[in-house]
Amino acid sequence: MFKKWDILLAAVLVLLIGASWLLFLPQNGAGPEAYALVQVNGEDRGRYPLSEDTAFTVEWDGHRNLVEIRNGKVSVTEANCGNGQCIKMGEIDSAGEMIVCLPNKMVITVESEGPQQGPDVIVR
Homologous superfamily in CATH for domain 34-112: N-utilization substance G protein NusG, insert domain (2.60.320.10)
Is 104:85 a contact under the CB 8 Å cutoff?
no
pLDDT tens sequence for the chain (124 residues): 678 888 888 889 988 888 887 776 655 554 558 999 999 999 999 999 999 999 999 998 899 999 999 999 999 999 998 889 999 999 999 888 999 999 999 999 999 876 555 666 778 7
- Rounded-to-integer distance, Cα 105 and Cα 13, Å: 55
Full-model pTM = 0.68
For the chain, the structural domain boundaries read 34-112
Is 92:98 a contact under the CB 8 Å cutoff?
yes
